[in-house]
Structure 1
């Protein structure tokens, strides 16, 4: 990943930091409205906030798959 894309993704993660759970779900599920990078930044916060009953203490990639399946996004 080049430096500009990494900086841009970090900025998107920062922009989505204070959003509520419902807003994050709307962003992740709105494929035509938001860019894939912005939706990935919102999904990162959903994965971090997901309860252990969903994630099971697994590595990040597996947790992300379980969270997406749980919320059907």
Structure 2
């Protein structure tokens, strides 16, 4: 995937999430769970949809990254 790491305080800060601008998704780790979230433009229904959810891997936020 073409994920970009988004960090606080520039490139040396803590990882906040991974963003894929092509698919308009973000990857978030929260309480030892990984969530892939699709960002939607339909503000009437919802602005996001969780499309992937599983326990986080120790070595990476996104299991598809190598």
TM-score between both structures, scaled by the size of structure 2: 0.28
* Highest RCO, 1 vs 2 (Cα 8 Å, sep ≥ 6): 1
Q: Which has the higher helix share?
A: 1
Structure number having the greater strand percentage = 2
TM-score with structure 1 setting the length: 0.26
